[in-house]
Chain A
Amino acid sequence: MKNFFAALWVEMLKTRRSKVPFFTALGFLILPLVSGLFMIILKDPEGAKSMGLIGTKAQLTAGTADWSAFFSILSQGIAVGGAILFAIITAWVFGREFSDRTAKELLALPTSREAIIGAKFVVIAVWTFGLSLVIFGLGLVVGYWVDIPGWSMELLRSATGGVLGSALLTIVLLPFVALVASMGRGYLPAFGWAILTVATAQIAAVMGWGDWFPWAVPALFSGAAGPRAELLGIHSYLVVILFSGIGLAATFYWWRNADQTR
Chain B
Amino acid sequence: MMEFAIETNGLSKFYGDVRAVDSVDLRVKRGEVYGFLGLNGAGKTTTIRALLGMIRPSAGEVRVLDQTLGGDGRGPWSRVGHLVENPAAYPELSVRENLEAARRLHGIQNPKAVDETLEKLSITTYAERKAGTLSSGNFQRLGLARALLHKPELLILDEPSNALDPAGIVEIRELLAGLAREQGTTIFMSSHILTEVNLLADRIGVIHKGRLIEELDAARLEEICAKQLVIGTRDAHQAREALAGFEVTALEDGRLAVKDVRAVEAPDMIATLLVNAGAAPTHLAIEQENLEEYFLRLTQSSEPRRR
Using a CB–CB cutoff of 8 Å, the interface residues on chain A facing chain B are 2-3, 6-7, 9-10, 13-14, 17-19, 100-102, 104-113, 116, 256-257, 259-261
Given A105-B146, A261-B55; 15 other pairs, CB 8 A cutoff? A6-B105, A13-B93, A13-B97, A13-B100, A14-B92, A17-B90, A17-B92, A107-B52, A108-B53, A108-B54, A109-B106, A110-B77, A256-B73, A260-B49, A260-B54
Closest 7 CB pairs of A and B: A110-B78, A101-B88, A6-B104, A259-B55, A108-B52, A260-B54, A10-B101
Write the chain B residue with the least CB distance to A10.
B101
- A residues within 8 A CB of B91? 100
Write the chain A residue with the least CB distance to B131.
A100
The contact string, 1 if C-beta is below 8 Å from chain A, for chain B 47-77, is: 0010011111000000000000001111101
Write the chain A residue with the least CB distance to B84.
A104
A17-B92, A17-B93 known; A108-B71 Cβ under 8 A? no
16 A-B pairs (CB sep. < 8 Å): A3-B107, A7-B105, A14-B101, A17-B90, A18-B92, A104-B54, A109-B77, A110-B77, A110-B78, A110-B105, A111-B105, A111-B106, A112-B74, A116-B105, A257-B72, A261-B55
Q: What is the CB-to-nearest-CB distance from B154 to chain A, in angstroms, rounded to a whole number?
A: 11
Asked if B88 and A2 make an inter-chain contact with CB atoms under 8 angstroms apart, the answer reads no
Write the chain B residue with the least CB distance to A2.
B107
Asked if B55 and A257 make an inter-chain contact with CB atoms under 8 angstroms apart, the answer reads no
Asked if A107 and B73 make an inter-chain contact with CB atoms under 8 angstroms apart, the answer reads yes
Within 8 A of A (CB), among B69-119: 71-75, 77-78, 80, 82, 84-86, 88-93, 97, 100-102, 104-107
Q: What is the CB-to-nearest-CB distance from A82 to chain B, in angstroms, rounded to a whole number?
A: 25
CA distance in complex: A121, B120 (Å): 36
- A residues within 8 A CB of B146? 105
- B residues within 8 A CB of A9? 104
- A residues within 8 A CB of B107? 2-3, 6, 110-111
- A residues within 8 A CB of B72? 256-257
Asked if A13 and B101 make an inter-chain contact with CB atoms under 8 angstroms apart, the answer reads yes
CA distance in complex: A115, B84 (Å): 22
- B residues within 8 A CB of A256? 72-73
Q: What is the CB-to-nearest-CB distance from A35 to chain B, in angstroms, rounded to a whole number?
A: 33
Asked if B86 and A101 make an inter-chain contact with CB atoms under 8 angstroms apart, the answer reads yes
Write the chain B residue with the least CB distance to A8.
B104
Write the chain B residue with the least CB distance to A18.
B92
- A residues within 8 A CB of B106? 109-111
Write the chain A residue with the least CB distance to B93.
A17
- Chain B interface extent, by class: 20 to 34
Asked if B104 and A113 make an inter-chain contact with CB atoms under 8 angstroms apart, the answer reads no
Q: What is the CB-to-nearest-CB distance from B240 to chain A, in angstroms, rounded to a whole number?
A: 54
Asked if B88 and A105 make an inter-chain contact with CB atoms under 8 angstroms apart, the answer reads yes
Asked if B86 and A14 make an inter-chain contact with CB atoms under 8 angstroms apart, the answer reads no
Write the chain A residue with the least CB distance to B53.
A108
CA distance in complex: A259, B107 (Å): 25
Q: What is the CB-to-nearest-CB distance from A96 to chain B, in angstroms, rounded to a whole number?
A: 8
Asked if B73 and A113 make an inter-chain contact with CB atoms under 8 angstroms apart, the answer reads yes
A109 in complex: contacting residue of B49, B85, B92, B105, CB < 8 Å: B105
Asked if B90 and A102 make an inter-chain contact with CB atoms under 8 angstroms apart, the answer reads yes
- A residues within 8 A CB of B75? 108
Write the chain A residue with the least CB distance to B107.
A110
CA distance in complex: A261, B15 (Å): 11
CA distance in complex: A18, B93 (Å): 9
Asked if A104 and B101 make an inter-chain contact with CB atoms under 8 angstroms apart, the answer reads no
- B residues within 8 A CB of A19? 92
Q: What is the CB-to-nearest-CB distance from B304 to chain A, in angstroms, rounded to a whole number?
A: 23
Write the chain B residue with the least CB distance to A262.
B85
Asked if A259 and B54 make an inter-chain contact with CB atoms under 8 angstroms apart, the answer reads yes
- B residues within 8 A CB of A113? 73
Q: What is the CB-to-nearest-CB distance from B57 to chain A, in angstroms, rounded to a whole number?
A: 10
Write the chain B residue with the least CB distance to A7.
B105
Asked if B88 and A104 make an inter-chain contact with CB atoms under 8 angstroms apart, the answer reads yes
CA distance in complex: A105, B103 (Å): 12
Asked if A108 and B88 make an inter-chain contact with CB atoms under 8 angstroms apart, the answer reads no
- A residues within 8 A CB of B78? 110
Q: What is the CB-to-nearest-CB distance from A24 to chain B, in angstroms, rounded to a whole number?
A: 15
Q: What is the CB-to-nearest-CB distance from A98 to chain B, in angstroms, rounded to a whole number?
A: 10
Asked if A100 and B56 make an inter-chain contact with CB atoms under 8 angstroms apart, the answer reads no
Asked if B105 and A108 make an inter-chain contact with CB atoms under 8 angstroms apart, the answer reads no
Write the chain A residue with the least CB distance to B156.
A108
Q: What is the CB-to-nearest-CB distance from A187 to chain B, in angstroms, rounded to a whole number?
A: 15
Q: What is the CB-to-nearest-CB distance from B114 to chain A, in angstroms, rounded to a whole number?
A: 13
Asked if B55 and A260 make an inter-chain contact with CB atoms under 8 angstroms apart, the answer reads yes
Query: Of residues A9, A14, A109, which shows the largest number of chain B Cβ atoms within 10 Å of its Cβ?
Result: A109
- B residues within 8 A CB of A105? 88-89, 102, 146
CA distance in complex: A10, B74 (Å): 20
B88 in complex: contacting residue of A100, A109, A260, CB < 8 Å: A100
B97 in complex: contacting residue of A17, A106, A257, CB < 8 Å: A17
CA distance in complex: A211, B52 (Å): 46
Query: Of residues B54, B56, B72, B100, which shows the largest number of chain A Cβ atoms within 10 Å of its Cβ?
Result: B54
